[in-house]
Chain A
Amino acid sequence: MSQPQLGPPPTCQSPEHTCGVSVVHEIIERYGGNPEMLIPMMQDIQAAEGYLPREHLRTLGRELGVPLSRIYGVATFYAAFRLQPKGKHTITLCMGTVCYLKGADQISAVIQDEFQVKPGGTSPDRKFTFAPVNCLGACALAPVMVVDGEYFGGLSASSAVDILQKIASSKKPSEAVAKADAKQKTAAQKNGRGSQNP
């Protein structure tokens, strides 16, 4: 597994508090301060901030009496945790067996190449965070990626890049999708897409 560095402190939004303290306190309270709930707390911090800011983790460790080294261990062990801020869009690419059989590897390679982004990392222009995952359980659409909650199935290396470029250049993802549709027509008819939440 990769060994990322602890991320930079976040820019504080609130005038009254130093970074993150109030967020972390609220989350700790949510779980009654139980150190066993460390992972859910970290998940909640990530949900609130988009990643795990260093100061938040320090506060968390201090309050729970858990050494920062252990928190860092947990943060780097589980693939879902991020120590760096997210890009504007998140690409979740399925690397499951079926997607692999149908070319997910090549798609991953061109995404990395095109947007200068490593798995788990963010592109230099902060547009994309690239998160390949083991399996999305959407095998009927293979190869499939999810961008900001929206599914794109039946991809090829070139159609994936097309879609992402459209998303990068448009303000609203849905506009990009409408445009990408023309090119994706055959694949979309067969595999379709929509948003993730019912």
Chain B
Amino acid sequence: MKAFEYATPETKEQAVSLLGASWGQAEILAGGTDLLALMKDDVVAPKRLVNIKEIKDLKGVTSSAEGFRIGALTTLGDLADNANVLKEYPALADALNEAASPQIRNLATLAGNLCQRPRCWYFRNGLGLLPKSEGGKDLVAEGENRYHAILGNDGPAKFVSPSTIVPALIAYGAKLRLVGPRGKREVPLEKFYAIPATETEREHDLRPNEIVTEVIIPPAHGVMAAHYEIRQKATFDWPLAVAAVALTMNGSRVESARVVMGYVAPVPWISPEAEQALVGQPINAETAQKAADAALGNAKPLSQNAYKVQLARVAVKRAILKAGGAA
């Protein structure tokens, strides 16, 4: 780990002023479960760490007509135990409870989860987020890509989005609030992620001197939602595919649907194809299978990961059936 400066601001404004105008200068430290590992591995080497854990405004949760507001510093553990989450957002509760381990959930913050860096093993071993050999070969395409993207992988980015919680949040229509030198802004979570085209870009639309302050989830009365993830190990393992589904029903038929996949593309992957396939249909094994097939219709596996297409299909299908109460 390189030596760095450590700052603990008490207000958002102070924090923003301590951040740099470009990446590489400062990093925000929340629970540290991701950032510290990246620093120890020399993948990220900020000159300054801005510890935001003393900023009171970033803590706590509140419910109002606008929806459920979650402060950026809320830990995954606290959120998983929150009565409102358990009652109103069961897909989120499932996602939270399956994430990482109890120890990590007790430290990991929600904003940190949304901003965590990809788990790509080339990236984590210091070979770059869009890893290339000296001769210009695409290391992922030519190499060990069993865990890499099957969608959105035409460009140099072939890693997969790391959060298992984000798909459920997007399915519920969550929004993000940020504060930067020019004040506040609000972004739908689904618009927050981007596929980088060069090594200097990041995989989300966070600017180097912005802070995520809170997440708002709209009320979900009448929404039937589910989260399903496929992991090889029973617990505490990176998934191979994640799906979150949110349905509104008209009688026994789907009125509107959101189908979001994780771990399949460099960004959380929303599938309008699957959504269309569901609208107007009842939920059963057949319609779920059709929607799952539609969701993966455009998948382009790399040399070693065709199996992930099948896994993602199964995840989508099982999430739909679970949301519809059939499984």
A interacts with B: no
Query: B residues near A, CB below 8 A?
Result: none
